[in-house]
Amino acid sequence: MVSNLFLIFFNFFLLVSSQNCTFDMQSFTLRNFTLLGDSYLRNGVVGLTRELQVPSSSSGSLIYNNPISFLDQETKKMVSFSTRFAFSVYNINPSSYGDGLAFFLSPDNQTLGSPGGFLGLVNSSQLTKNKFVAVEFDTKQDLHFNDPDDNHVGLDIDSLISIKTANLMLAGVDLKSRNLISSWIDYKSDEKKLMVFLSYSSSKPKRPILIVDIDLSEYVKEFMYVGFAASTEGSTELHTIENWRFQTFGFSGVKPRSNRDPHNVSDNSVVVKPPIVQDSGHKHHRSLGLVFGIGGPVFFCVVLVAFGWISFKKWRGVNTEKYLKAELVTGPRQFSYRELRTATRGFHSSRIIGNGAFGTVYKAFFMDSNSIAAVKRSKHRHESKTEFGAELSIIACLRHKNLVQLQGWCIEKGELLLVYDFMPNGSLDKVLYQESEHGNPLKWPYRYNIAVGLASVLTYLHQECEQQVIHRDIKASNIMLDGSYNARLGDFGLARLMDHDKSPVSTLTAGTMGYLAPEYLQYGKATEKTDVFSYGVVILEVACGRRPIEGEGSGHEMVNLVDWVWRLYSEGRIIDAADKRLKEDFEEEEMIKLLLVGLSCANPDSAERPCMRRVFQILNNEAEPIFVPKLKPTLTFSTSIPLSIDDIFSDSEDELEIRVD
């Protein structure tokens, strides 16, 4: 009796395990999966790493509860599988990125690795403990694992040194773009081939970004768990999974079924078997009448709603275009979409020269004028009209030799595009760090000239414009370099216009960690002195060749640049802060002056920071340097409201808010 029951159970188990598995989760519930580490569920979306406003180290996993069969019992061969999921990588501080996420297959349901470059897959103290097959989506270059860059996809097997990788820029995808990204991973067992597709849209691309010829049967056991893992180290990067579909196929003897698979855990997977009835013409006609009686009005309502939605979108687009044209009638020229598409070869991936919070930047060749420009293309479409309007309304009316000049704009086909002067030498951070790694450090005369040029343009924005402009996001990646390595300040997506006699009020902090003034982090008040602080950090970068926040030592302890320079200054050896890659090929007096100006601008006490005009005069030897205390001042914040309620209301009524971030 017992043996018969065992045989029945065993045969039933083989039958179930030898069927294709399919599940489709458009939103997540705790019923279907397990969360490990720092992962969490919110409004049907899974976050894999901590959601904090300050840099942290974190790792988390999402694992489907049931093990999935990957072995056909009859043929003893591995079956094929396919998965599609939508994810996003969001960062409140674009310069504080890392490390990425991964989709994985694992023989156990306890896969949780260490933070940092280990992507939540591998334990840092037991590198060979966890077994897995994973596709990584890496947002940070980690030389320990032979990463080619900070925006790639790769196949990993039991190790984070990828078997093969692909640069995602070839597909026009930036993992750190904040966009919702769809990914498809297909493994064809008969062809022994794994393919990865990525797109910003929900439509699967025709060509995969990564193809790996590999027989996974050597690494995949009969039953495996599937899931996702992600990690950070000293960053504010967030990794979320919004939906997920997975299926296996290729089991022998599986007959086509009209009902859903018993493994399907979709909320719509309940199967109701219709009763068997005798054929009846009367019932048949009555059923048709019922279908048309109910379906007709429903179909009409759907068409009406769709028509209304399309009309609304068209109306909104037309009104936005009219508004922009009215605002810019005397400003930069309006380009046609066809013009920009032709100049960028259809926005081809080979023309990509950069990425930012707004979108992707392309190099454009205009044959009729024999000129080159940079075209910034929004990936957020309508969601980016705020940033788009900010850049247009501000840059269009500004003229300075150290500003990136806006040539024109375009708003067609739901696209938002800005056309700028092309900067041959790219951004300051690229020249300061990436090119220096190849033995070509930026020479000292250029560095000093960059500091002077940046001081000049900030003096113009703060004190010489009809309306004061507070940039709010001054950092090395937003400073472009022309053909002569002159600084050109760009990216006004966070900027604010205000009258000189108005108190700046900002209820939400925007900008990049490491460059933000302490009072701005505390109160959210954007003033010219917060720009001065960011400027101070940038010129310390220029002098020292170090990032604002950087790992140091074997433990990779995070070191703040301002604190590091101030400590050397207090010890009487500030010259030791100079970039070692320069090999002392600089004017010592100028180096010390630049370091001291940087510290004076990055003073925690905003009242002690100089204005940009004074900084410009000091660097041009037209004014005496400001006294810098040997010990870094400490700042105690008041718990009281920084401005009176009357001040806030009176100011906010008149203030022109370009962007609420």
Let me know how long the chain is. 661
Asked if residues 610 and 600 have their Cβ atoms less than 8 Å apart, the reply is yes
Question: CB-based contacts of 616: which residues, under 8 Å, 6+ apart?
Answer: 452, 455, 456, 459
Helix axes 612-619, 444-459, angle to 10 degrees: 150
**Distance, CA of 420 to CA of 402 (rounded, Å):** 13
Torsion angles phi and psi, residue 362, rounded to 5: -115, 150
The residue whose two tokens read 């591995």 is: 78
Token pair for residue 657? 């808010």
Question: CB-based contacts of 294: which residues, under 8 Å, 6+ apart?
Answer: none
333-334/406-412 β-pairing: parallel
Neighbour-count burial of 101, counting CB atoms closer than 10 A to its CB (0-12 exposed, 13-18 middle, 19+ buried)? buried
Helix axes 588-601, 561-570, angle to 10 degrees: 120
Asked if residues 459 and 612 have their Cβ atoms less than 8 Å apart, the reply is yes
**Runs of H (alpha helix) within 512-581:** 518-523, 528-544, 561-570
DSSP string, 207-250: S-SEEEE--GGGT--SEEEEEEEEEEEEE-EEEEEEEEEEEEE-
Neighbour-count burial of 339, counting CB atoms closer than 10 A to its CB (0-12 exposed, 13-18 middle, 19+ buried)? middle
Whole-angstrom Cα Rg for the chain:
29
Please list the active-site residues: 473
376 is an annotated ligand-binding site residue = yes
**Distance, CA of 78 to CA of 250 (rounded, Å):** 9
How crowded is residue 109: how many other Cβ atoms within 10 Å of its Cβ?
Answer: 18
What are the binding residues?
376
What are the binding residues for ATP?
376
